[in-house]
Structure 1
Amino acid sequence: MIKREISIMKLVRHPYVVRLHEVLASRTKIYIILEFITGGELFDKIVHHGRLSEAEARRYFQQLIDGVDYCHSKGVYHRDLKPENLLLDSLGNMKISDFGLSALPEQGVSMLRTTCGTPNYVAPEVLSHKGYKGAPADVWSCGVILYIDKAEFSCPAWFPVGAKSLIQRILDPNPENRITIEQIRSDEWFQKNYVPVHLLEYEDVNLDDINAAFDSAEDQGDNPQCEIEDTGPLILNAFDMIMLSQGLNLATIFDRGQDTMKYQTRFVTQKPAKVVLSSMEVVAQSMGFKTHIRNYKMRIEGISAKKTSHFSVILE
C-alpha cells in the first residue's frame, strides 16, 4: 500500500495536490519528502471558524474539482475525499492529500470492487458490493464536502440557491444520473469568479527510483545477515538520524513474518569508528568474550552470567 501511494503521488503533479519531491531509502526505511503545507486541514478550519462564506466555499470547491479532475485524467481515483484530507497552504490554496486508498486502473477492469473510504463521505454504490466506477464515487464525496446531511437532505434558509441546486445534482444516489466533473465546471454557480488552474510542464514522470528504493529496502530486509563489501563506516544523513526513533522505524514492513521491533541502544562519540571498535574489543576480550569484527561491525559472543545459555551482541 505504501508503494502504491508513493507511486500515485509522483504520478499526479498538480497545484492542488500535495507534491511528492523525492523518495530515499536506507536498509530498512523509506524516506518520503513531501511539500510542506503549513495551513492545516480544511476540517480544522471549519471546526474552529464555523461555516465558510459562499465565496470561500466556492473557491475551495473549484480547486477541489480541478485537482480531482486531474487525478481522474491520470486514471487515479482517490476514494477517500473528505475535509481531513484537504490541506491548506500558506496562500490559502487547497491541496489534496492521503492517497492511501486510491485506485489505479487495471487492464480489462472497468469497475472497482473494494469497499473503502470514510462512511459519511462514501457514495451509496460503494456500499452495494456490486462494483462501482471511481469517478462518480469521487464526485459524490466532493458534494459531501460542499454539503451533505444524507441522500435526502434539506438545505438551511441561508444556503445559496445556486449551491443548493448544484449539490442536489451531485448527491444523486444513482451514479448513472449523477452530474459529471465536466458538467460541474459549466454550472453557473461554480463558474462565478472561477479561474482555471494553469498547469506547468512538469518533467516526465518516472517511477524507476521508487521501484529501486523499495527493491533495495526489501532485498536487505529479507536478509538482515547479508554481508557487504568493506566500504568504510556507516554514514548517516539527516534523515537517517531523524528516523533513529523506533516509533518511525519501518523495519517490520520489510521484515516479512516479523511483528516485533529489535531493541537497540545507541550512543554518540566524536572518536573515529576504528578507535571505538578497537577499544570495545579490548574491553570485551578482557571480560572473556569472543569478538569478531567485519565491515565496521563487531559481534561479541559469550555465556550468560548463570552459564545456562550462549548470547551474542552486535555493535555497529
Structure 2
Amino acid sequence: MSQAPASQDGLPNTQDISDVEAIYSQSQEQPGGDVQKWGRLFPVGIRAKFDGLDMFKNEYTLGRGESCDVVVGLQNLVEKYLLTISKTHLKVVRAEASTGWHVYLEDLSSNGTFVNGELVGRGNKVALKNNDEISLSMKLLKVFVFHDYMDNDSASYPEQLRARYTMSRVLGAGACGEVRLAFRKGTMERFAIKIISKKKFTLRGQHQINQTDAVANEVNVLRALDHPCVIRIHDVIDSPAAVYIVLELVEGGELFDRVMALKQLDEPTAKLYFYQMLQAVRYLHQKGIAHRDLKPENVLLASEEQETLVKITDFGLAKIVEEDGLLKTLCGTPTYVAPEVLRRRPDANYTHSVDCWSLGVILFICLAGYPPFSPEYKDMPLQEQILRGRFTFQRRQWRGVSEPAKDLVRRLLTVDPAQRISVEQALQHPWLQDKKTAAVADRLMGRGKRRAEDCLAPAGRRRRTLADVNGHQETATS
C-alpha cells in the first residue's frame, strides 16, 4: 500500500476516505473508572481495539496526534483505516449553561465523525446524549457508545440488573420488548439483553398467551443448548415487570438485513449459511425441540465477513416435543408457517417438519431475494398460496441458480408433511455434497474442539441418494 506523505509534525497526512472500504469495528475494554466520573466511552464494534474511557475532565480529544487524550494508533486500527483518522479528529466537551450541564461533540476531522450514523461535519457540534454511538471517518466504523452517568434512565431497571450490568443502546425491538447492548461490570464483556414484559399479548390476533410462561419456556430451552450455531444464554434476571435474558452478543446483524442489502445471496454463500442452519436445526430436533418460528430475522451472523458463523436465535415459540412427537399450538410468523399449521383443524397435529418448511422459505429468500409467499401477491390470498404450495421461480432472479438448489427448495416446500424432506435428508441432498462448503463451515463452527456427541457427521459420510418427493404443486417460469 502506498504511504501518505508526512506533514511537518512528522505524522502522515490524513488519507481520503474514498481509498478505504467501509467496515465495522471491534474493541476490547479493561475494567477501571472513578466514582466521580460523569461519563464513559464504551468501546463497540468488530475490528478495532480500544479501551474504555472514564470521563471526569470537562474536555477530551481523540485523534492520531500525541497530544490527544485518546491517541489512535496501530494498536487500535490497521494502517489503511488509521490513515483516515485526523491528527485531532474530534473533541467531547462537558459545558455548563443556564439550564445545567450538557455534553457536546465537535467534529474536527477531514473525513468526518458520525453520531448514530449521522455526519456531524468538520467544525460542527452536536449534543451528545446517553447511549449515542460514535463512528470515525465512516458511519460503519463504530468505535464508542457514550454513557452519561448523569442520566437517570438506569433507575428504571431492577437493582439486581444494575448491580451486574451497565445498560446501553437499543439493538432491536419487537412486539413484546426490546434488546439492548449491555456491559458486564468488572469485566466489561458485551452482551445483548432481551427485555420481555410480563404482560399478556395477542398472538396473530387469535390467542392470548401469558408472557411469563413464554419467557420461562425460552429460558429453559436455551439453558439446555450447547451448539456453535445456536445463541447461548448467560444469565437470567427476573423482576415483577419483566424478565431480562442475557445473551451472547452477535454483531454481524440479521440474515434478513444481509439479504436485503445484497438483493440476493450468491449461491456459494447461501449454501454456506444454509448448511449451518441445517446443522443447528438438526441439533435442536435431536434434542426434541421444534423452533417453530424460523425466519431470516431469527438467523444472526457473527460478523460482516462473507464467510461467517450463523446463529439461530429467539426460541420464544420453541417447545419440547411430547412423547408422541406432535405439536398442536398454532404459532409462528404467517409468511413462514407450514400449511399444516394454517389448517386450524381441532385435531390438527404437526411435527418437526414445520421447521423444514420454514427453512425452505428461508433458502428461497436467500437465493432469490424475494419471498415465495406474500400478501403482496394479489392473484391469491396468502393462506391459499401456502396451503396449495404455490410459488414461482421468477426467471430473472433465478437465472444463475443451479437446478440442485431449486430441487432442494421444492422438496422443503412440499405441502404434505409426510412427503416433505427432513433435515437429515436435506443434509444428504446433492446440493450440499460440497466438501469445500463443509470444510469452511466446520472451521467456523470449531467442531474439532467440541465433544464427540455434539459433533455432526462429516459430508463425506453422507449418502447422495434421495427418494422422489411427491404431492407438491408449483408454478415455475424458469
Question: Shorter-chain TM-score: what band?
Answer: 0.5 to 0.7
Structure 2 residue 309 is the aligned partner of structure 1 residue 96: no
In terms of fraction of residues, the more strand-rich structure is 2
Paired letter, 1:111: L
Distance, in Å, in 2 between the alignment partners of 1:60 and 1:133 is 26
**What is the correspondence of 1:283-294 to structure 2 with a 5 Å cutoff?**
none
Selected match of 2:362 from 133, 142, 145 = 145
2:415 to 126, 151, 173: 173
- Work out the CA distance in 2 between the residues paired with 1:122 and 1:29: 28
Describe the SS at the equivalent of 2:392.
coil
What does 1:117-266 correspond to in 2, within 5 Å? 117-130=332-345, 131-147=348-364, 148-150=371-373, 151-155=389-393, 156=395, 157-192=399-434, 193-195=437-439, 198=447, 200-201=450-451
- Is structure 2 residue 259 aligned with structure 1 residue 46? yes
**Contact kept? 1:17, 1:67, Cα under 8 Å:** yes
Cα offset, 1:95, TM superposition: 0.5
Amino acid at match of 1:183: Q
Q: Does the Cα contact within 8 Å between 2:325 and 2:351 map onto a contact in 1?
A: no
Displacement, 1:13? 1.4
Q: SS where residue 352 of structure 2 aligns?
A: helix
Cα offset for 1:29?
Answer: 5.5
What displacement does 1:114 show? 1.2
67, 73, 80: which one aligns with 2:286: 73
- Which segment drifts farther, 144-153 or 166-175? 144-153
Partners of 1:113 and 1:129 within 8 A in 2 = no
Name which one, 1 or 2, has greater alpha-carbon Rg: 1
Q: Would the aligned equivalents of 1:22 and 1:32 in 2 still touch at CA under 8 Å? A: yes
Structure 1 residues 29 and 112, CA gap change in structure 2 (3 angstroms): closer
Aligned-partner Cα distance in 2 for 1:170–1:28: 41
Counterparts of 1:28 and 1:141, CA distance in 2: 33
Distance 2:225 2:278 in 1: 14
Aligned partner (choices 321, 331, 337) of residue 105 of structure 1 = 321
For the pair 1:61 / 2:311, whether they are aligned, the reply is no
Specify which structure has the bigger relative contact order, considering alpha-carbon pairs within 8 angstroms and separated by 6 or more residues.
1
Distance 2:243 2:419 in 1: 43
* Corresponding residue SS for 2:250: coil
Give the conservation status (yes or no) of the 8 Å contact 1:79–1:134. Answer: no
Q: Counterparts of 1:153 and 1:21 in 2: how far apart (Å)?
A: 41
Letter in 2 for 1:23: V
> Cα distance 1:100–1:26, how it changes in 2: closer, same or farther (>3 A)?
closer
Distance 2:282 2:325 in 1: 18
Identity of aligned residues (%): 40
In the alignment, the residues of structure 1 paired with residue 331 and residue 239 of structure 2 have an alpha-carbon distance, to the nearest angstrom, of 32
Residues 198-254 of structure 1, C-alpha deviation per residue, up to 9 Å, x if partnerless?
Answer: 27239xxxxxxxxxxxxxxxxxxxxxxxxxxxxxxxxxxxxxxxxxxxxxxxxxxxx
Shift of 1:20: 0.7
The whole-number CA distance in structure 2 between the counterparts of 1:177 and 1:74 is: 23
Report the TM-score, using the length of structure 1 for normalisation.
0.60
Range that drifts further, 119-128 or 144-153: 144-153
User: Deviations 1:272-304 (Å, cap 9, x if unpaired)?
Assistant: xxxxxxxxxxxxxxxxxxxxxxxxxxxxxxxxx
| TM-score with structure 2 setting the length | 0.40
Listed as ranges, the gaps of 5+ residues in structure 2 are 1-213, 365-370, 374-388, 453-478
Instruction: Please name the residue that 2:225 is paired with.
Output: 12
Against the structure 1 CA distance between its residues 48 and 188, is the aligned structure 2 distance closer, same or farther, given a 3 Å change threshold? same
Contact 2:353 2:422 in 1 (8 A): yes
Whether the aligned pair in 2 keeps the contact of 1:41 and 1:84 (CA below 8 Å) is: yes
Query: CA, structure 1 residues 171+27, in 2 after alignment: closer, same or farther (shift >3 Å)?
Result: closer
